[in-house]
Amino acid sequence: MNGTLGHTGVLLAFAAAVVGTVVLLVALVRPRPGGLRAARIYAPLILLGGVVAVVAMQRALITHDFSLTYVADNNSRSTPLLYSITGMWSALAGSILLWGIILGIYVTAMVWRFRSRADDQLVAWATLVMYVVCAFFFGLMLGPADPFTHVSGAIPTNGLGPNVLLQDNPLVLFHPPMLYLGLVGFTVPFAFAVASLVTGRVDEDWQGETRRWTLFAWTFLTIGIVLGAWWSYQVLGWGGFWAWDPVENASLMPWLVGTAYLHSVMVQQRRGLLRVWNLSLVIATFSLTILGTFLTRSGVIQSVHSFSASSIGPLLLGFFGVVLAVGVGLIAWRGDRLRSPGGIDSPLSREGAFLANNLLFVLFTFVVLLGTVFPLLYEAVNSGAQVAVGAPYFNRLVIPIGLGLLFLMAVAPALPWRKSSADVMRDRLAVPAALGVVVVVGCVIGGIHGIEPLLAFGLGAFAAASAGRALVLSVRGAWRSARGVGASTARAILAGWRGFVGRANGGMVVHIGVVFIAVGLTAATAFGQRGTLVLAHGESGTFAGHTVEFVGTRVVRTPSNISQQALLRIDGGAVFTPAISQFGTGTQAVGTPAIDSSVTSDVYLTINSIPAKGGSWTFGVVVQPLVMWLWVGGALIVVGSILSAVPGRRRRPTDPVSAPLGAVAPPVVPEPELAPAPEREPVGAGEAP
């Protein structure tokens, strides 16, 4: 029954997507009253089909219906309920089903959001693109990625259970859905980009319509990446959080290009520049999500995250090629309409800094892409010979780019549009730059050496102070604004929260979060220490200034696993329990670390070896400073993204690019949202994505 119900849902979603595509095409080619509106009904049908399929899969997993091959391979009677639920995205076909249901949610939400503009050809073409993408992914589930195939032969009495790494931490419930909400969400701006090119409406309107959709997708992708790093840190037992694994890179690349777009789109909206560039970034972001799906699900790479080999690979690669060809072809076709009326007036301007920022993000993406696909290209050219690209390659090339981005994060928010001057830059950046220098001097005095860590800490302080300055001005401006209309002091203080909302001010919170992550990464990787302790029961050892006492052992049995734990007391305080667990019979044992985490440092403990009978145990110890800053920084980025989506004060448009520069008098108006005019601060001085 579950298989029949699931197939019915997938078939309904696929049929609705195909019929919706045909109906929209006919209505666009042969317009008739109400033709475009009639195609809206197929979006909720796609979602309904996806919901039916997901309900069938979850019912099969929870009830242990081993008549389905997917359930028999990824579930067992001893699997806890939580990991039975997450089993839906623990393997290839189920992950495509998750992709499909999220895609159905997005297309239905988009149709509902633009329901009053259903007769608008821009919206109609965007809906058609969404239907085509839905048809492709649900079509995969009717073919090589069918999650509802029946077991051939006798139905097993028990299943194999999930991968041991996928039933050892509850983050598996959150990380993949968050990641997919981000990756799939970029389909919406891609659809509108294609629609704008097809209809010839290549002005800035479509970007305004999709800004929050893009920000929504980017925010969820950020959450997914940060949760993935946290999951790796808590589960894999190697004491790290980012290994430049190909699947990690597959999610990072669209994030990088999407971040570049969120910056550069402001230049087009404010100045009418970078039209081709922005369209290229949107198409590249979506293309990279498809490429990442291919890398993850085709089995062409070896990764702790990747799924087994499958015939789905050529189809995904072909779809990636079609997306890229259509995007590039449409941009070339509309080349004449995409020309900007002018250029950047001065490199020392907001738009100049954003362009430099974009070039660094794209270079970052290219470095990651090359390191990820080079082993595949090498193997294809050299008849199966294999080569690996490791962390040294990425670190050597990425660290200078990251330092450059930190510098631009500090400088760009202080630059006005069109052109700046030395006096303006000195007034705005003197205090943040001085704070950066003080931090570097303090680090040197404190015994920190190495040009890269010192630059990272100094530039991080510079960028954080620059963002903090913009927020202080904004909050002060909101308070003065409230006082200016007669509000009481208490109401004016409460009104100060408006200084944190809007694209500019939320962007500053995001920048501070990025600084936290940059500082945490630098400290943990540059100053982390790794070693081992060999201890018998009752013995103590010291490592990196910390004392570890081996208190004892215990065995914990649950219906799904047997866990052998060591009881270790750190610095005479709390007892922590690293463990080695066995999930089912015949499965590989998996280690679970124990982490003593604080604001200043983490002590990370693992069991390296257990003696056969008596004797001493060997424990891995990793001491890393400021790891908690990574998770705090991730939380700040999410908060800043939410604040960015809240409407702020609508700004006065910057003079068009064609206006003579000398004809524009320097305005003296507030820097951030809702702020009254501080001295010498031109329009938009605090604006950021």
Which H or E element spans position 526? helix 503-527
Residue 188 tokens, joined: 């919406």
Residue 637 tokens, joined: 């980025």
Give the residue among 239, 244, 245 at the shortest CA–CA distance from 528.
239
Residue 585 to residue 565: CA distance in whole angstroms? 19
Regarding predicted confidence, which is higher, 377 or 93?
93
Residue 25 to residue 129: CA distance in whole angstroms? 11
Which H or E element spans position 476? helix 451-484
Regarding predicted confidence, which is higher, 51 or 483?
51
pLDDT given at position 485: 65
pLDDT tens digit sequence for 277-291 = 999 999 999 999 999
Residue 509 to residue 222: CA distance in whole angstroms? 14
Residue 157 to residue 403: CA distance in whole angstroms? 57
Helix (H, G, I), strand (E, B) or coil at 430: helix
Residue 320 to residue 74: CA distance in whole angstroms? 29
Residue 534 to residue 120: CA distance in whole angstroms? 71
Exposed, middle or buried: residue 289 (CB in 10 Å: 0-12, 13-18, 19+)?
A: buried
Mean pLDDT of 253-262: 95
Mean pLDDT of 538-553: 93
Cβ–Cβ under 8 Å, residues 652 and 385: no
Of 212-216, 242-246, 491-495, 665-669, give the lowest mean pLDDT range: 665-669
Of 67-76, 415-424, 528-537, give the lowest mean pLDDT range: 415-424
Residue 654 tokens, joined: 């910057």
pLDDT tens digit sequence for 345-389 = 777 788 888 899 999 999 999 999 999 988 888 887 887 677 788
pLDDT tens digit sequence for 27-55 = 998 888 777 888 889 999 999 999 999 99
Which H or E element spans position 591? strand 590-592
Give the global pTM: 0.90
pLDDT tens digit sequence for 484-529 = 666 666 666 666 677 788 888 899 999 999 999 999 999 999 999 9
Helix (H, G, I), strand (E, B) or coil at 91: coil
State the helix-helix crossing angle for 246-271 and 205-235, rounded to 10 degrees: 150
Mean pLDDT of 296-302: 68
Count the helices and strands in the chain (H runs, E runs): 20, 10
Question: Sign of the C-alpha dihedral, residues 506, 254, 281, 330?
Answer: negative
pLDDT tens digit sequence for 391-401 = 899 999 999 99
**Amino acid present at 181:** L
Cβ neighbours of residue 644 closer than 8 Å, sequence gap 6 or more: 215, 502, 503, 505, 506, 507, 510, 689
Which H or E element spans position 313? helix 312-333
Residue tagged 């669209």 (tokens)? 254
What are the Cα distances from residue 171, in Å, to 77, 249, 454, 548? Answer: 21, 19, 34, 28
**Amino acid present at 321:** G
Give the residue among 234, 118, 128, 258 at the shortest CA–CA distance from 185.
258
Q: Percent of the chain beyond pLDDT 70?
A: 89
pLDDT tens digit sequence for 175-190 = 999 999 999 999 999 9
Mean pLDDT of 323-332: 94
- The DSSP symbol for 150 reads B
Residue 308 to residue 14: CA distance in whole angstroms? 25
Mean pLDDT of 267-278: 83
What average pLDDT does the chain have? 86
What are the Cα distances from residue 263, in Å, to 186, 359, 438, 508, 685? Answer: 16, 11, 29, 12, 15
- Within the chain, all domains assigned CATH 1.20.120 are found at 163-340+358-389
CATH code of the domain occupying 163-340+358-389: 1.20.120
Residue 100 to residue 131: CA distance in whole angstroms? 11
Q: Residues of 125-156 as b/e, b for ≥16 C-beta within 10 angstroms?
A: bbbbbbbbbbbbbbbbbeebbbbbeebeeeee
Pairing of strands 579-583, 561-570: antiparallel
Residue 45 to residue 500: CA distance in whole angstroms? 40
Give the residue among 36, 1, 59, 241 at the shortest CA–CA distance from 125.
36
Residue 432 to residue 450: CA distance in whole angstroms? 22
Residue 359 to residue 233: CA distance in whole angstroms? 31
**Amino acid present at 235:** V
Residue 327 to residue 158: CA distance in whole angstroms? 48
Cβ neighbours of residue 441 closer than 8 Å, sequence gap 6 or more: none
Cβ neighbours of residue 135 closer than 8 Å, sequence gap 6 or more: 14, 17, 18, 21
Phi–psi pair at 74, nearest 5 degrees: -130, 20
Residue 379 tokens, joined: 């193997």
Residue tagged 């929260």 (tokens)? 497
Give the residue among 653, 686, 654 at the shortest CA–CA distance from 671.
686
Within 13 Å, how many C-alpha atoms sit on residue 229's CB side? 24
Mean pLDDT of 553-577: 91
Cβ–Cβ under 8 Å, residues 568 and 553: no
